[in-house]
Amino acid sequence: MWPISRLCFQVKINPVKSEIRGIPQDTSVSFVPMEAVGEYGGLRLEQTHALENVANGYTYFRDGDVVVAKITPCFENGKGSIADGLENGIGFGTTELHVLRPSSFMDRNYLFYLTISHAFRKIGASYMYGAGGQKRVPDTFIRDFRHPIPTTKEQRSIAAFLDRETARIDALIEKKQRQIELLQEKRSALISHAVTKGLAPKAPMKDSGIEWLGEIPAHWEVAPLRWHIKIASGDFLPNTSLEVVQSDGYSVPALGGNGLMGYTDKANVHGSCIVVGRVGAQCGNIHRVNSPSWVTDNALIVRIIKSFNEPFLGAVLDASNLNRLANQNAQPLITGLMVKSLIVSRPPEGAMGYRKIH
């Protein structure tokens, strides 16, 4: 039977950086921001800095340590990894990491799998403290976490088994993801064709006069969206009013620049509308809203004035690939003016194609 032990007897938690005080200050070391920490393993190690530039204000670790994200939602999402291949064996990173250094009784690969296990993350989430999006897992949870500890030989066998099986599953996932990508491309092409060419394959066509539209059915109209819609920005939502997990108190979807952010306790949109992400890498994403929701100031609220219905307009906006309009700056941005200026084709409201598309 495996003995049950508190983790603090098996690992050193958040080792102090004074142990490297003798290393020259110009030594190059790895630097790891949170975005470089993978979910369920992996560190991107592109960044390096001189020790003197990162020794203060960042989290210290070295090769062989296991790092665990401590802030929500990174902790719940499984962010963490074994530190390996660090520049000169030393790393510094975001302060939102806990560092676990295995003792001689703990295999580092087994420790890593333990830290990404459902039990560790689920129980750890219940120990989080703080408000809204700033909740963190305290190091006391890790110190006091009790778990059966097999012998080091068994730990290595378990870790090796998990390495093999997770690699096999990851390969299957990669294959399925490629299949999904191809289906998404087919879906996008289908939508684009339907909202620009209609559904009648033998319908007479005419030149739209718009390069990206090409030919459209002869009985369709071409017009800027500004004639048919009105656009407003959403409203600011503080992190203290946002929860990642839906609950009785926080049940209203909150939509931002990249889509669903989480849930809040109030709504600023009560009727149906279309939400367009305004800021962020995924800006231009389209969401139809049919229930009370909160749309943040990082998104645009689109409502129809005339001549469109929402399913058709949503498909038109989706096919327009609004992300291509975003300013090519460090922070991509889409404005309401950009959306209103889109030239789109539309069948007459009573036409058969218009009814069938939605």
Q: What is the pLDDT of residues 9-28, one digit of tens each?
A: 999 999 999 999 999 999 99
Per-residue pLDDT at 222: 84
Scan for tokens 């218009």, then name that residue: 354
Structure tokens that stand for 24 in this block: 């020259």
Q: Both ends of the chain: CA-CA distance in Å? A: 62
Q: Write out the H or E segment, with its range, that includes residue 168.
A: helix 152-197
Per-residue pLDDT at 143: 96
Q: Find the mean pLDDT for residues 319-331.
A: 71
CATH 1.20.58.1880 for domain 4-150: no
Q: Are 289 and 314 in contact (CB under 8 A)?
A: no
When the candidates are 2.60.120.620, 3.40.190.10, 3.90.220.20, 3.40.640.10, the CATH number that belongs to 198-357 is: 3.90.220.20
Per-residue pLDDT at 96: 96
State the pTM of this model. 0.62
Residue 132's pLDDT band (cuts 50, 70, 90)? low
Amino acid symbol at 152: T
Residue 92 pLDDT more than 60?
A: yes
Q: Which is more confident, 192 or 263?
A: 263
> How far out from the chain centre does Cα 333 lie?
18
Q: Find the mean pLDDT for residues 311-321.
A: 84
Residue 313's pLDDT band (cuts 50, 70, 90)? confident
Q: Find the mean pLDDT for residues 116-123.
A: 94
CA distances in angstroms from 199 to 191, 319, 351, listed in the order given = 11, 15, 11
Q: Are 93 and 33 in contact (CB under 8 A)?
A: yes
Per-residue pLDDT at 19: 92
Residue 331's pLDDT band (cuts 50, 70, 90)? low
**CA count, 13 A, side-chain hemisphere, 197:** 13
Per-residue pLDDT at 190: 85
Residues of the chain with CATH 3.90.220.20: 4-150, 198-357
Residue 358 pLDDT more than 50?
A: no
Share of the chain above pLDDT 70, in %: 95
